[in-house]
Amino acid sequence: MINMNVKQFYACNTNIYDLHMLQTGHYSAQKRIIKKLCDFISEPILDVACGTGIILVQLSKTKNKIFGNDFSKEMIVVAKQKSPQITFTTDNAETLIHHNKKYNTIICCNLLFYLKNRNKAIKRWKELLKNTGKIIVMEEYPFIFPRKELKGLAKILKPLRSEEIIKLFRNNNMELVKKIKTKIDNRHKLYACVFA
C-alpha cells in the first residue's frame, strides 16, 4: 500500500505540484513521451496515477476510451476540471478495487517511486491487461528533489534507475519492448519503458 504520508502530502500540495510540474518542464516532457509512444497506446486506456490529468488531456485529443485513477481526491478534482468527459476512480494503484474491465494500455507515470509493494501493483495491473496489452512506465532520472516547493518529497519516495524498473518487470514476467527518453531540463530526463 502507498504510504499515508504520500496521500497527506498531495492533499496539501495539489496546486503547488501542478504549477511546479508545469513550470519545470515535467508536463511538456510527459506530452512528448505520449506523442512518441502513440503506436503503443490503444484503447481502452487506464492511467493508474493520473494526478491532475495532463496525460489524460493529451490522450483525449486522439482517444475516447480513457479512464483516470488517482488515490488523491484533491488531484482528481483538478483532473476532472481539465477532462470532465473522463471517468475517474480514487483507488489505491496497488489494488484498483473498482476496476474489473480489461485494458489495452495501462499508464504508470511518476508513481513507481512511491509504491511500497511494487510487485503487488504490477501483478494487479497484469490482471487488468488484455493479452496483447502494454504497460507504459514513465519516471524521471536522476530524480531532482525540489528545494523550496514540495520539499517533503525526499521522505516519501525512493527513486529507481530505468535498469531497476526493467528488472522489476522482468521478475514479473513482462518484457521490455521499447525504451525512450526525453529531456526535462539540463539536469535530468524522463524515461519511458513499454512492457508486454
Nearest to 1 by CA among 120, 159, 90: 120
Q: Output the DSSP codes for 131-175.
A: EEEEEEEEEEES----SSTTGGGGGT-----HHHHHHHHHTTT--
- CA angle at 21 for the pair 52 and 110, rounded to the nearest 5°: 70
d(CA 122, CA 94): 8
Beta bridge partners of 182: 190
Measured from the Cβ of residue 113, the count of other Cβ atoms closer than 10 Å reads 17
Domain limits, the chain: 4-195
Cis peptide before 44 (omega within 30 of 0): yes
Q: Kindly calculate the radius of gyration of the chain based on its CA atoms and give it in whole angstroms.
A: 15
**What CA–CA distance (Å, rounded) separates 180 from 88?**
28
Return the ∠ at Cα 171 (arms to 168 and 173), rounded to 5°.
Answer: 115
Give the pLDDT confidence of 116-161 residue by residue, as tens digits: 899 999 999 999 999 999 999 999 999 887 766 666 666 778 889 9
pLDDT in tens, 181-190: 999 999 999 9
Reported as a single tens digit per residue, the pLDDT across 166-182 is 999 999 999 999 999 99
Name the pTM for this structure.
0.94
CATH placement of domain 4-195:
3.40.50.150
Beta bridge partners of 193: 137, 179
Residues whose CB is less than 8 angstroms from the CB of residue 130 and which lie 6 or more positions away in sequence, other chains included: 102, 103, 104
pLDDT tens-digit series, residues 52-93: 999 999 999 999 999 999 999 999 999 999 999 999 999 999
pLDDT over threshold 90, residue 7: no
> Residues 93, 118: contact at Cβ < 8 Å?
no
